[in-house]
Amino acid sequence: MAYPLPLSCSPRVNQVLDNQLTASTMATNLLAPVKTEQEILENSMLEDDPNANCAATSPPLESLGPRWGPQHKGAQELANLYSTGKRTQECICVGICLTLMAVNLIFILFHIKLQNLSAIMVAAFCGIVTADFGSGFVHWAADTWGSIELPVIGKNFLRPFREHHIDPTSITRHDFIETNGDNFMVTIPFLARMVWDFITLSEDDVQMKFTWNCYVFLLAIFVAMTNQIHKWSHTYFGLPSWVVFLQEMHVILPRRHHRIHHVAPHETYFCITTGWLNWPMEKLHFWTALEVLIEAVSGLKPRDDDLKWAKKGT
Ligand SMILES: [Zn+2]
Ligand SMILES: [Zn+2]
């Protein structure tokens, strides 16, 4: 006598169960926190708790020397590499950039046509998203590759990234010039080109390029403001209420959101302007895929230099 197969042994039912399992695993992966509270507590500096009353470190900090903060030997060495020449470059860049922004704003207000407002708003939004992507890309590249020993860019441009991981709150002690000098510098050629366009083009040509220029202007403003926004995301005391409001509305990088990047080994959530792209890029494994590719081609190991500096505290 033939017995019917148990339900779970039927190939069709198994297929359906497999599909359901895959769908539920995908949903679980998608909804899983990028870093758990435990990982945040164990592997990042408690910036909102300067006395580290609730640190879940094991073994205790005293036996290892500080892993983070101004007392970290690596952080002190990096802070001392900030030179007068670098400071001068930053002052000049901030001055030129602010002037160009003001001139462009006057030109934009002079030429704006309100009937094009919706296209201008879309362009502005795209400019902000591009700035967030750009902040992530530059931050990822500087955190992950290169070393302080590299000529010119090592001490001048990679140094702040290394310092920031081992002393995350040092940025809150930097003034406006040190915080923003490099980002302001990046925008100068684009803002200068815009001024040149406004001066030399005919009214028709200005109108043809107007939406594009609004995109570039918002992109430049958000690129320039990125490190200021980043500084605010590390400031747990005394922030103006309008900044806290923008953070809570997630218009700019929120503090709890940016803590995810600061969990060692600092391998995710690199976008620091609005942070809007962090979650989708993490779920797409964007940074990991790039690192695997670069490591396969070049043989370089991601975050080698960053790890070297982190170990200097112990
Ligand atoms: Zn970083
Ligand atoms: Zn940070």
pLDDT at residue number 18: 75
**232 neighbors 220 (Cβ within 8 angstroms):** no
- Three-state SS for 160? helix
pLDDT at residue number 61: 46
Residue 263, domain extent? 85-313
Q: By CB neighbour count within 10 A (0-12 exposed, 13-18 middle, 19+ buried), where does 124 fall? A: middle
**64 neighbors 185 (Cβ within 8 angstroms):** no
- Three-state SS for 3? coil
Phi then psi for residue 45, to 5 deg, are -80, 140
The answer for residues whose C-beta is within 8 angstroms of residue 48's C-beta and 6 or more apart is 236, 255
pTM of the model: 0.78
Would residue 254 count as lying in a domain?
yes
pLDDT at residue number 58: 47
pLDDT digits (tens, 9 = 90+) for 183-201: 999 999 999 999 999 999 9
Taking the centre of ligand 2 as the mean of its atom positions, its distance from the CA of residue 235, in whole angstroms, is: 10
- Torsion over CA: 43, 44, 48, 50 (sign): positive
93, pLDDT greater than 90: yes
59, pLDDT greater than 50: no
pLDDT digits (tens, 9 = 90+) for 17-49: 677 766 666 666 777 788 787 777 777 777 766
How far CA 299 is from CA of 144, 149, 294, 296, 304, in Å, comes to 13, 18, 7, 6, 12
Taking the centre of ligand 2 as the mean of its atom positions, its distance from the CA of residue 215, in whole angstroms, is: 26
Would residue 60 count as lying in a domain?
no
Closest CA to 181 of 139, 226, 143: 226
Q: Which ligand is nearest to the CA of 266?
A: 1
53 — pLDDT class (breaks 50, 70, 90)? very low
Q: Given the structure tokens 């505290």, which residue do they identify?
A: 313
Would residue 225 count as lying in a domain?
yes
Residue type, 46: L
313 — pLDDT class (breaks 50, 70, 90)? low
- Torsion over CA: 255, 269, 101, 99 (sign): positive
Take residue 239 and report the two structure tokens written for it: 């922030």
Would residue 228 count as lying in a domain?
yes
Taking the centre of ligand 1 as the mean of its atom positions, its distance from the CA of residue 122, in whole angstroms, is: 30
Q: Rounded to an integer, what distance in angstroms lies between the CA atom of residue 255 and that of residue 248? A: 9
Q: How many domains does the chain have?
A: 1
Taking the centre of ligand 2 as the mean of its atom positions, its distance from the CA of residue 234, in whole angstroms, is: 7
pLDDT at residue number 312: 78
Taking the centre of ligand 2 as the mean of its atom positions, its distance from the CA of residue 42, in whole angstroms, is: 17
